[in-house]
Chains A and B, each alone.
Chain A
């Protein structure tokens, strides 16, 4: 398999198993792109993640597009975007049709209560891995912890936190 095809096949697989949203597949995606295949450096990967925090639009779809762009140019970027949302949207479309039919059944709430903790653990793992990516030092980890505290403890818009993080980085070189 050539490079773009391997990336796109892997993204399509991750799309199908990204329970809890796309952040839960970030650790796996990083291993595949940076570790297994060496297409991007750790810092390139972190840059793709950082850039999509700062621009509008469907950010996880954009992130995989930037990875695709660096692996195989614009066609790979577009194919990566399609592979990120295509399979999961097909699942959503089908699931929505069936879900309602079984809405009052007991097993549905059991499945939901069972799956929720696993997906939540995966989401937190995604954040943890992104916090440790590249050459993250103590200052950088302190910024991550502050962002967690402010998100949980205040009603401040995440946009301000992203802006403050960028400003701190520019001033202090985290």
Chain B
């Protein structure tokens, strides 16, 4: 796989306000799937990355901790303009959208106990859970031919959801074993 993320972009220098406004838009439009909008603005509109570069960056950020799009913002801002770029992108991604979202949400939360709204929120919560599970299943698709991968995904699921073990314990117990399994897979392939 070709990683060319740290090379300077070919076009003119990207300005800090451009980083701020682009990630502001990604965040504000990001209903239900910010990744889709991130791709649209970064690849199609601004041409800051090619499709392949965006896919590489996304796969790195999916495996880093934290909200994926926030990580993309930091990585891309830092690639284009160093620490100031990372800060400008992150500020655009968070400050204004957070303020708007917090105001709207606080209002909703205040009335969350009221009959009609309470029932609506039940329905939305049920769908939200489904969207997360679907995202997980889609991410699992490329690994479906690897028995060890399916085993470790199942163990992580059972450990957290059924056995209700602490996340830190599940991660520290399974991650090294799963990496060791990936290592033996490779040895067998060879």
Contact = CB atoms under 8 A, between A and B. Distances in A.
Interface of A: 13-25, 27-28, 31, 44, 46-62, 65-66, 69-70, 77, 81, 84-85, 87-89, 91-93, 95-97, 99-100, 103-104, 106, 109-131, 133-134, 136, 140-141, 143-148, 151-152, 157-159, 161-162, 164-170, 172-174
Interface string B147-179: 011111111110111001011101100110011
Contacts of A113: 146, 149, 182, 185
B101 A17 contact: no
B130 A127 contact: yes
A91 B74 CA distance: 10
A132 B14 CA distance: 46
Interface in B95-136: 97-98, 100-102, 104-106, 108-109, 112, 116, 119-136
A120 B67 CA distance: 14
Contact of A148 (B62, B83, B105, B134): B134
Nearest to B72: A92
13 contacts: A15-B66, A22-B66, A24-B160, A51-B124, A91-B65, A109-B1, A119-B63, A121-B154, A121-B156, A121-B160, A124-B157, A143-B130, A165-B125
Interface residue SS majority, chain A: helix
Most buried by B among A17, A100, A165: A165
Question: For the side of the interface on B, what is the size category?
Answer: 35 or more
A99 B74 CA distance: 14
Nearest to B161: A125
Contacts of A23: 132, 135
Nearest to B173: A118
B18 interface: no
Contact of B125 (A53, A84, A145): A53
A130 B129 contact: yes
A117 B33 contact: no
A114 B182 contact: yes
Given A116-B63, A143-B123, A58 B93 contact: yes
Contacts of B93: 58
A112 B167 contact: no
B156 A168 contact: no
